[in-house]
Chain A
Amino acid sequence: NAGVTQTPKFQVLKTGQSMTLQCAQDMNHEYMSWYRQDPGMGLRLIHYSVGAGITDQGEVPNGYNVSRSTTEDFPLRLLSAAPSQTSVYFCASSYSLAGVGSGGTDTQYFGPGTRLTVL
Chain B
Amino acid sequence: AQKVTQAQTEISVVEKEDVTLDCVYETRDTTYYLFWYKQPPSGELVFLIRRNSFDEQNEISGRYSWNFQKSTSSFNFTITASQVVDSAVYFCALSEPSGGSYIPTFGRGTSLIVHP
Contact = CB atoms under 8 A, between A and B. Distances in A.
B8 to A, nearest CB: 14
B115 interface: no
A102 B111 CA distance: 32
Interface of B: 4, 33, 35, 43-47, 50, 91, 93, 95, 97, 101-109
Contacts of B47: 98, 107-110
Given A41-B108, A108-B47, 17 more contacts: A40-B109, A41-B106, A42-B107, A42-B109, A43-B104, A45-B104, A59-B105, A97-B101, A98-B33, A98-B35, A99-B50, A100-B33, A106-B50, A108-B50, A109-B47, A110-B44, A110-B46
Interface residues of A, number: 24
Interface in A66-98: 88, 90, 92, 97-98
Interface of A: 40-45, 48, 56, 58-59, 88, 90, 92, 97-100, 106-110, 112-113
Main secondary structure of the interface of B (DSSP, over half): strand
A100 B102 contact: yes
B108 A113 contact: no
A36 B105 CA distance: 12
Contacts of A41: 106, 108-109
A104 B104 CA distance: 17
Nearest to A112: B44
